[in-house]
């Protein structure tokens, strides 16, 4: 259970930080064009994605040497307390006030997006404390669900991982990357591969040094013979 939740948190955090990176790059590109003015849309989007990514940056930066689940629960408790006790900014600068508002919106989204993980941890802890019930009568087997097939992009990513050398990594404040020597694997595609259990990640390695990625038997079954 804990390993799966750590995997979900890592994927969610990587997605939010990568979205911030894209928004910042778009704003930088717009700012570099001296023939055009800055648009409120690009500025606001960069501010919003930065606010969304901030709690996830806190989570990733606090991981060193601690239990990731404990760090996650402590961060939720800390942010919840701050959200309740902190008053809104009342600066004379409209941009400062908007930045403050977006920050707390980002905190709310973080708490909302991870609330079900806390419920899952509590349910698992409660189940571990309850006595094992008597075995019930064996139900009729349900009809097997049809196996999901990968899309072309997902199949290409599986082929890249099968070729070897694929790693998940993160350097300092950069977003989490999935690096491959032979092609590009996008974050959204990789999230599907992990959700479908077509790939496995070696979490015994740190993100800084790179976490090797390999195909599972389920993922290998989709490759051409």
Q: What is the pLDDT of residues 57-108, one digit of tens each?
A: 888 776 665 788 888 889 999 999 988 888 777 778 888 888 888 998 999 9
Q: Mind listing the pLDDT tens digit for each residue in 11-59?
A: 888 899 999 999 999 999 999 999 888 888 889 999 999 999 999 888 8
Q: Mapping DSSP to helix (H, G, I), strand (E, B) and coil, where does residue 24 land?
A: helix
The maximal CA–CA distance of the chain, rounded, in angstroms, is 75
Of residues 195 and 172, the one with the higher pLDDT is 195
81, 29 contact by CB (below 8 A): no
Q: What is the pLDDT of residue 52?
A: 93
Domain residue limits, the chain? 2-129, 152-220
Q: Which of 143, 151, 154, 152 is nearest to 190 (CA)?
A: 154
pLDDT at 189 over 80: yes
Whose structure tokens read 């919003």? 48
């Amino acid at each position: 259970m804990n390993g799966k939740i750590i995997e979900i948190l890592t994927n969610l955090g990587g997605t939010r930080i990568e979205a911030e990176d894209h928004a910042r790059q778009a704003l930088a590109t717009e700012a570099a064009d001296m023939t055009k003015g800055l648009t409120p849309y690009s500025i606001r989007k960069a501010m919003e994605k930065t606010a969304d990514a901030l709690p996830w940056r806190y989570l990733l930066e606090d991981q060193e040497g601690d239990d990731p689940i404990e760090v996650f629960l402590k961060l939720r408790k800390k942010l919840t307390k701050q959200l309740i006790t902190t008053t809104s900014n009342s600066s004379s600068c409209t941009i400062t006030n908007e930045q403050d508002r977006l920050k707390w919106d980002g905190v709310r989204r973080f708490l909302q997006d991870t609330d079900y993980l806390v419920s899952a941890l509590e349910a698992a802890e409660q189940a571990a404390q309850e006595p094992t019930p008597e075995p019930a009568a064996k139900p009729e087997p349900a009809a097997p669900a049809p196996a999901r097939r990968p899309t072309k992009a997902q199949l290409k990513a599986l082929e890249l991982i099968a070729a070897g050398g694929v790693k998940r990594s993160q350097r300092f404040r950069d977003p989490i990357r999935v690096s491959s020597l032979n092609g590009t694997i996008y974050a959204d595609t990789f999230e599907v591969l992990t959700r479908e259990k077509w790939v496995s990640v070696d979490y015994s390695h740190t993100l800084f040094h790179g976490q090797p990625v390999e195909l599972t038997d389920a993922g290998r079954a989709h490759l051409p013979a």
